[in-house]
Amino acid sequence: MGIAVYLLALVVIYVVFNLSKILKFVKERMRLYHLMSKIDGPLALPLLGTTFQFKMDPVEFALQLYNWGLEYSTKGSSLAAFWMGPYPMVIVLTPEANKKVLESNALINKSSEYDIFLPWLGTGLLLASGEKWRGRRKMMTPSFHFNVLIDFQVVFNSQSMILLEQIENAAKKTDDSTIDAFPYIKRCALDIICETAMGTTVSAQTNHTHPYVVAVNEMNSLAFKYQRMPWLWIKPIRQLIGYEADFQRNLDIVTSFTKKVIDRKLREHDETDGMVVVEEESKKKAFLDMLIEKKEEGGLGYEDIREEVDTFMFEGHDTTSAGIGWSLWCLANCPEYQKKCHEELDEIFEGTSRECSVEDLKKMKYLEKCVKEALRMRPSVPQMARSVEEEVEIDGKILPKGCSVMISPAFIQNNPRTFPNHEVFDPERFNEDEISKRHAYAYIPFSAGPRNCIGQKFAMQEEKTVISWVLRRFHIHTDIGLLENMPLPETITRPSLGFPLKFTVRQQ
């Protein structure tokens, strides 16, 4: 009895001293519920939110999300309300509303759905907020200057040639030259990003079981589970089911690898400090070298460098591999467009096997249209979310403080109200006259506004280079329909079937 009285007294004391905070929280929460109720959305239950309706099968879940968006968009809504357990989220359904969110300076910070990445990426450019983000963005922008990207072209070429060897050798071992190309493309993209970001390579294309390669894949899988299942946001539950142990094990692998490379690079810079070093023309500066120079200027600390390198590795690996894979998948399903790409490339390279230059990339007008249309149908990043930290009005609805707002390129770019015949792969959508007819925020595979993707030119240069090498060497074909390979809205748009493609060496 005495213990009960003691505990009750503690509760009373806590309430008395924190009454104003409690009343403020209750008031804000009641307003949040009120404003969210004004926005259409599927049925949500207390605590469970909308998640009790979520399909467990990934393919069915992807269809469910798309159909919900289509339902409310067809009704004329520009927003739809969802509840991830007790956490509210508003999804944007129109290009006009996209523009208001992406251009808003009040909606600049990433939402709590990204918290799972904090132990890995820290508050690097992807997750930074406020003045830190503005300062980092300004600091990093020169690292993606055109002249820097030119220097990376040698890496894109060398790794692309390894990819061709890997594909050709694997195809020879099958009965009909069909392989799942996705793992090969991902390993190529990983080697490219390691070499350009850190000046090293894990030789992922030839060492398929490298611990870093495996750990990166596991981290992305674990992140998707976290974002989809709000009960994983409670640490004791994560610990109980073994999720936390899996996450920590893979986190240790990816961060320790980065730290080893940084330590080695720092030693190299110390050894050459004050010396005149004549670099070979073929030895280019990696992103990490540029960051170390910023450190030496007093702009960055060790942990700042680590989080920016890991951010670049994360953002520039899976995204580009998805872009390359979906482009090849679309072209394999559309031989008439693949033929046009072959003709364009044959005209540029005249049947030679010479390396691809930046000037060559500029001439690949039709291939670029195909890549853009593949990114329209299957954007590498299917959705992104921002934190609402002050009330914002959009189309007569108020986004309440405390909710998240999600922008979904995967939905916007496949909404028949935005793109008629959206299920048809049509590169002609990217003719200049067609582009001029569309809302500027109807096509946002690299986001838009002040937080647009800083590496989009890097990504397009890499994707066009790798795809051009593949098409110069092979005809690609598949017996599976384009739409049969469902896109799964994970951290990236993952193909439900992989990319089972038949590679036939072209006769020059």
Q: Is 7 inside a domain boundary? A: no
Beta strand 79-84 pairing with 87-92: antiparallel
Please say if the pLDDT value at position 19 is more than 80.
no
> pLDDT category, 46, cuts 50, 70, 90?
confident
Torsion sign across C-alpha atoms 292, 295, 296, 299: positive
Examine residue 14 and state whether it is found in any structural domain, yes or no: no
> Any known ligand binding at 453?
yes
SS3 state of residue 384: strand
Residue 183 lies in a domain: yes
Sole residue written with tokens 């990003």 = 193
Contact between residue 125 and residue 144 where contact means Cβ atoms under 8 Å apart: no
Dist. CA 21–CA 33, nearest whole Å: 18
Cα(343)–Cα(365) distance, rounded to whole angstroms?
Answer: 12
Q: Please, which pLDDT band fits residue 8 given cuts at 50, 70 and 90?
A: low
CB 64 within 8 A of CB 54: yes
- At 356-366, the pLDDT tens digits run 999 999 999 99
> Poorest-confidence range of 229-233, 238-242, 261-265, 270-274?
270-274
- On whether the CB atoms of residues 109 and 129 are closer than 8 A, the answer is yes
H-run or E-run covering 397:
strand 397-399
Tell me the mean pLDDT in the region 439-457. Answer: 93
Cβ-proximal residues to 242 (8 Å cutoff; 6+ apart), any chain: none
Instruction: Determine if residue 199 is left, alpha or beta; phi over 0 gives left, psi from -120 to 50 gives alpha, anything else beta.
Output: left
Q: Which residues pair with 36 in a beta bridge?
A: none
Residue 10 in any domain: the answer is: no
Positive or negative CA dihedral for 338, 339, 342, 347? negative
**Which residue's entry shows tokens 């990490």?**
288
State the pLDDT at residue 10.
65
The pLDDT, as a whole number, for residue 279 is 46
DSSP 46-94: TTTBTGGG--SSHHHHHHHHHHHHHHHHHTT-SEEEEEETTEEEEEE-S
Mean pLDDT on 94-113: 91
Alpha-carbon gap, residue 59 to 489, rounded angstroms: 9
Cα–Cα distances (Å) from 326 to 64, 304, 321, 437, in that order, read 22, 34, 9, 25
In angstroms, the CA 34 to CA 294 distance is 48
Residue 90 to residue 78: CA distance in whole angstroms: 10
Per-residue pLDDT tens over the stretch 30-44: 999 999 999 999 999
Predicted local confidence at residue 16, as pLDDT:
67
Residue 22 phi/psi, 5-degree rounding, is -65, -45
As given in the structure block, the two tokens for residue 282 are 């073929």
Give me the sign of the Cα torsion angle 86, 88, 93, 98.
Answer: negative
* Cα separation, 19 vs 313, whole angstroms: 46
pLDDT tens, 141-185? 887 877 788 989 999 999 999 999 999 999 999 988 899 999 999
Which tokens sit at 461?
Answer: 């240069």
**Angle formed by the axes of helices 318-333 and 335-349, nearest 10°:** 110
- At 147, which amino acid appears? N
Quote the tokens at residue 142: 């020169």
Contact status, residue 380 vs residue 323, Cβ threshold 8 Å: yes
- Compute the distance between CA of residue 454 and CA of residue 4 in angstroms, rounded to an integer: 58
Exposed (0-12), middle (13-18) or buried (19+): which is 33, by Cβ within 10 Å?
Answer: exposed
Tokens for 157?
């070429």
What number of H helices and E strands is found in the chain?
20, 11
pLDDT at 286: 82
The pLDDT, as a whole number, for residue 482 is 96
Predicted pLDDT at 428:
97
Count how many domains the chain has. Answer: 1
- 115-137, pLDDT tens digit by residue? 888 888 888 888 888 888 888 88
- Quote the CA–CA distance of 305 and 214 in Å, as a whole number: 23
d(CA 96, CA 320): 27
CA angle 289, 290, 293 (to 5 degrees): 90
- Extract the tokens encoding 249: 């094990």
Mean pLDDT of 98-103: 94
Confidence of residue 1 (pLDDT cuts 50, 70, 90): low
Whether 5 has a pLDDT exceeding 70, the answer reads no
pLDDT of residue 281: 41
pLDDT of 315: 82
Query: Tokens 């890496």 — which residue?
Result: 155
User: Is 4 inside any structural domain?
Assistant: no
Which residues are within 8 A (CB) of 61 and not within 5 positions of it... i.e. 6 or more apart? 54, 55, 228, 488
Residue 507 pLDDT > 90 = no
Q: Reply yes or no on whether the pLDDT at 488 is more than 50.
A: yes
Per mean pLDDT, which range of 73-82, 277-286, 371-380, 418-427 is the poorest? 277-286
Q: What is the pLDDT of residue 116?
A: 85
C-alpha–C-alpha distance, residues 220 and 216, integer Å: 6
Local structure of 447: helix, strand or coil: strand
- The answer to whether the CB of 258 falls within 8 A of the CB of 281 is no
Lowest mean pLDDT among 17-21, 102-106, 199-203, 214-218: 17-21
What is the residue-wise DSSP string for 236-295? Answer: HHHHHTTHHHHHHHHHHHHHHHHHHHHHHHHHHHHHHTTS-----TT-PPPHHHHHHHHH
Q: Say how far apart CA 126 and CA 282 lie, in whole Å.
A: 30
* Confidence label for 276 from pLDDT (cuts 50, 70 and 90): very low
Q: Which domain holds residue 111?
A: 25-505
Q: Residue 221's pLDDT is what?
A: 82
For residues 231 and 85, the answer to whether their CB atoms sit within 8 Å is yes
Beta strands 474-477 and 500-505, pairing class = antiparallel
Residues 73-93: tens digit of each pLDDT: 999 899 999 998 889 999 999
* Whether pLDDT at 204 is above 50: yes
DSSP state of 233: G
- The pLDDT tens digits for 412-431 are 999 999 999 999 999 999 99
For residue 506, list its beta bridge partners: none
Q: Give the pLDDT of residue 23.
A: 77
Q: What's residue 343's pLDDT?
A: 97
Q: Is the pLDDT of residue 436 over 60?
A: yes
Residue 181 is part of a domain; what is its CATH number? Answer: 1.10.630.10
